[in-house]
A and B are shown apart, each in its own frame.
Chain A
Amino acid sequence: NAGVTQTPKFQVLKTGQSMTLQCAQDMNHEYMSWYRQDPGMGLRLIHYSVGAGITDQGEVPNGYNVSRSTTEDFPLRLLSAAPSQTSVYFCASSQRQEEQPQHFGDGTRLSIL
């Protein structure tokens, strides 16, 4: 099993550009989520999905879109990149039960110039 796979690992964008961060999991997990990690702030939830076709906003959703067409994939789209979106982005997945721990990918390091 590969677990949670994120691509790309690194990306540099110019302000205003758009891009999609990919996330795939092979554990048949119902729940998937996106976080951003910034120094001194821990991880903050951007968007999450409780199953295919169902998504909802987290703590910091502005500037990001998501969709969940399959159980395996949960891409995160930056519509018009801004320097404030420079961060490390993590995708996570977990089993349906709410107390189950989340499995994290290794992250995408994104710089917006």
Chain B
Amino acid sequence: AQSVAQPEDQVNVAEGNPLTVKCTYSVSGNPYLFWYVQYPNRGLQFLLKYITGDNLVKGSYGFEAEFNKSQTSFHLKKPSALVSDSALYFCAVMRRASWGKLQFGAGTQVVVTP
């Protein structure tokens, strides 16, 4: 069974509108949760992480993510999308005490139109 699910292959949004990229997970315990972004022909770049504490996590480039334990979700959000936010976004999960063993979702392509 897939541990990390990103239910949307692609998300289309107009510039200036809110952006949401969904992620749910099925990992036991209290895993670490991450979001990464990939631009064409580049490696993944870290955006933000949830370790513990506040359910709303703020990260790079104006992105934030909301952790919901009851729904096992970790959705990525940005209040006002930019054309430059067009990229491939990955959610990743790591079980505690499984150092470095990231499990990735399949990725969501975000397309922001002017």
Number of A-B contacts (CB under 8 A): 64
Q: In the complex, what's the smallest C-beta–C-beta distance from A96 to chain B, in angstroms?
A: 8
Out of B44, B98, B99, B106, which one reaches A41, CB within 8 Å? B106
Given A4-B43, A42-B107, verify A102-B51 contact (CB < 8 Å).
no
**Restricting to B1-46, which residues have a CB under 8 Å from any CB of A?**
4, 9, 32, 34, 36, 41-46
Given A50-B99, A106-B43, verify A42-B90 contact (CB < 8 Å).
yes
Chain A, residues 93-113, CB within 8 Å of chain B (1/0): the string is 010001101111111000000
Bound complex: CA A101 to CA B45 (Å)? 9
The reply to whether B96 and A105 contact each other, CB–CB distance below 8 Å, is no
Q: Is A75 interfacial (CB-CB < 8 Å)? A: no
Q: Which residues of A contact B101 (CB under 8 A)?
A: 45, 48, 58
A to B CB contacts below 8 Å, 12 in the list:
A33-B100, A42-B90, A45-B101, A48-B101, A90-B43, A98-B32, A98-B97, A98-B98, A99-B49, A99-B51, A104-B43, A104-B45
